[in-house]
Copies of this chain bind each other. A is one copy, B any other.
């Protein structure tokens, strides 16, 4: 398998974690998201991925964009170890918490959105940082409340095994720390993330451990 990736892309980070958890070898094809106007916007990449975003997985004839679609594909083609629980309601819960991050936090803080706030909207770094922290606070507030009432072992978002929800949490926590968000209101998320970050599959997927890290 080949993965178009960027060390700091949190969507790519999710896929790297999933690949590592499944014990799958892959070739990294780094694309720098800021250099040269964004290497993911160049024609040669758009011919491979018309969506023009990172990550992209290539597995034989299959070319798959969107991190959660990639991870569901890995789950179906390499079921062990599972990243979704067995019961439909529990699977739904893991997907729901993953989507609370992938739809309700991350897209708002994506590089292209921050760029738009700067140009054409004309906002400065202070306003943009406030924007960033606002959506983290909304999303993490909801997730912390979910973690408080979920049936889990306090080391995972759902149940007592790593799920898709955990795979999304760690990269989002990484981003939140990078933008110096106040994480005190989220003790459960901090505890869960701290536990997960120690696991080899997560550690090996971290931005600073990537060949393209700068």
Which A residues form the contact surface with B (CB < 8 A)?
Answer: 46, 50-53, 59, 61-62, 64-66, 68-70, 72-73, 76-77, 88-89, 91-93, 95-96, 98-100, 102-104, 106-108, 112-113, 116, 121, 123, 127, 131, 134, 138, 142, 145-146, 149
A92 touches B51 (CB 8 A): no
- Which residues of chain B are near A96, meaning CB under 8 Å? 51, 64-66, 69
Copies in the assembly, this chain: 2
Q: Indicate which residue in B76, B102, B113 contacts A91 across the interface (CB closer than 8 Å).
A: B76
- Which residues of chain B are near A77, meaning CB under 8 Å? 88
- Which residues of chain B are near A93, meaning CB under 8 Å? 64, 69
Q: Indicate which residue in B52, B64, B95 contacts A92 across the interface (CB closer than 8 Å).
A: B64
A103 touches B62 (CB 8 A): no
Closest-by-CB residue of B relative to A148 is B50
Q: Is the interface of A mostly helix, strand, loop or mixed?
A: helix
Return 10 A-B CB contacts under 8 Å, by A number: A46-B145, A51-B146, A64-B92, A65-B100, A66-B103, A68-B99, A69-B98, A103-B107, A104-B107, A116-B131
- Which residues of chain B are near A104, meaning CB under 8 Å? 51, 53, 107
Nearest Cβ on chain B to A160's Cβ, whole angstroms: 19
Q: Indicate which residue in B52, B89, B113, B146 contacts A108 across the interface (CB closer than 8 Å).
A: B113
Closest-by-CB residue of B relative to A46 is B145
